[in-house]
Chains A and B, each alone.
Chain A
Amino acid sequence: MKARVFVTLKNGVLDPQGEAVRHALGSLGFDGVSGVRQGKVIELDLTETDATRAEAHVTEMCEKLLANTVIENYRVELL
């Protein structure tokens, strides 16, 4: 089983990299982008075959390491 974890900055946390990307898009002529938020995607190969247990494990991984929950949100997707 595979899991995909999306880690994104919480609302209200400044994302200077996202801002830089927004500026760069503007300078390439892509108008109409009012905001960019950058995050990361982490893909995990799991030996677990039970979806409920897998989701619980990956959630624990997010809480302990994959995300910094002070500034980041995460979302787990099982594939």
Chain B
Amino acid sequence: MRAGVIVFPGSNCDRDLALALERATGRPTRMIWHKDHDLPQGLDLIAIPGGFSFGDYLRCGAIAATAPIMRAVVEFAKTGGHVLGVCNGFQVLIETSLLPGALLRNANLKFVCRDVALKVESRKSSFTEKFLQGQEVTFPVAHHDGNYFASAELLERLEGENRIAFRYRDNPNGSTADIAGVLSENGRVLGMMPHPERLDQPELGGTDGAILFEGLAEAHLAV
């Protein structure tokens, strides 16, 4: 699998994400600048990292969503490419409308930064198929605006289509139905607030995050 990571001014987990992908794929990750208009050829996955792109001005992710490279990322997703958005990357994907819903300020107004337990809800994607159904995993969260908002109608659709990838065991931010990660209709775009790249090797205190990246790499080798 060949992966690329988009870099915005204010991204701060881009190198972590690139390293996690390199460890899983054994190939270098391409770093892609937000002002580029085109993606490098031959990539299987585009990852949008966490951080505070453009200082979270206007709304988290709103300015990044208008960057030239995002037009290419939306096109890549619409033609069946895999896209992963972590934390601020999830906010960017929502602002580009690749994923539904909205991310609001945490219900308790506090920046939450700690490891959280998640339950794997949907294995219907390359991102999650290496996990066991219902498996409990630990990923760190670090965000101020991760309160996922879904209308009753959207929630019903997400549940009906098995598009909730992860749920929090103990909801840290007030998200609708404990939602921590959401898949697109075709299961190839995943947005999630928790950071799998921050817990992907024993030296970091855990390896649950590696399952996601290894699953992705294996899915693409099998193609």
Which residues in chain B, 91-138, are within 8 Å of chain A measured between CB atoms? 95, 100-102, 104-109
Number of residue pairs across A and B with beta carbons under 8 Å? 33
Which residues in chain B, 48-85, are within 8 Å of chain A measured between CB atoms? 58-59, 62, 66
A20-B107 Cα distance, complex, nearest whole Å: 10
A68-B109 Cα distance, complex, nearest whole Å: 20
Q: In this complex, what residue of A is CB-closest to B174?
A: A14
A21-B107 Cα distance, complex, nearest whole Å: 14
Indicate whether A79 reaches chain B with its CB closer than 8 angstroms.
no
Interface size class of A (residues with CB under 8 A): 10 to 19
B-side contacts of A66, CB under 8 Å: 58
A60-B35 Cα distance, complex, nearest whole Å: 24
Please tell me if the beta carbons of A17 and B62 are within 8 angstroms of each other in the complex: no
**A65-B58, A65-B62, A65-B66 known; A17 vs B149 contact (CB < 8 Å):** no
Q: In this complex, what residue of A is CB-closest to B66?
A: A65
Q: In this complex, what residue of A is CB-closest to B97?
A: A70
B-side contacts of A14, CB under 8 Å: 104, 107, 147, 149, 174
Chain B: interface residue total (CB-CB under 8 A): 17
Indicate whether A33 reaches chain B with its CB closer than 8 angstroms.
no
Whole-angstrom distance between the Cβ of A8 and the nearest chain B Cβ: 13
Indicate whether A13 reaches chain B with its CB closer than 8 angstroms.
yes
Please tell me if the beta carbons of A16 and B107 are within 8 angstroms of each other in the complex: yes
A70-B108 Cα distance, complex, nearest whole Å: 21
Binding site for A on B (CB under 8 A): 58-59, 62, 66, 95, 100-102, 104-109, 147, 149, 174
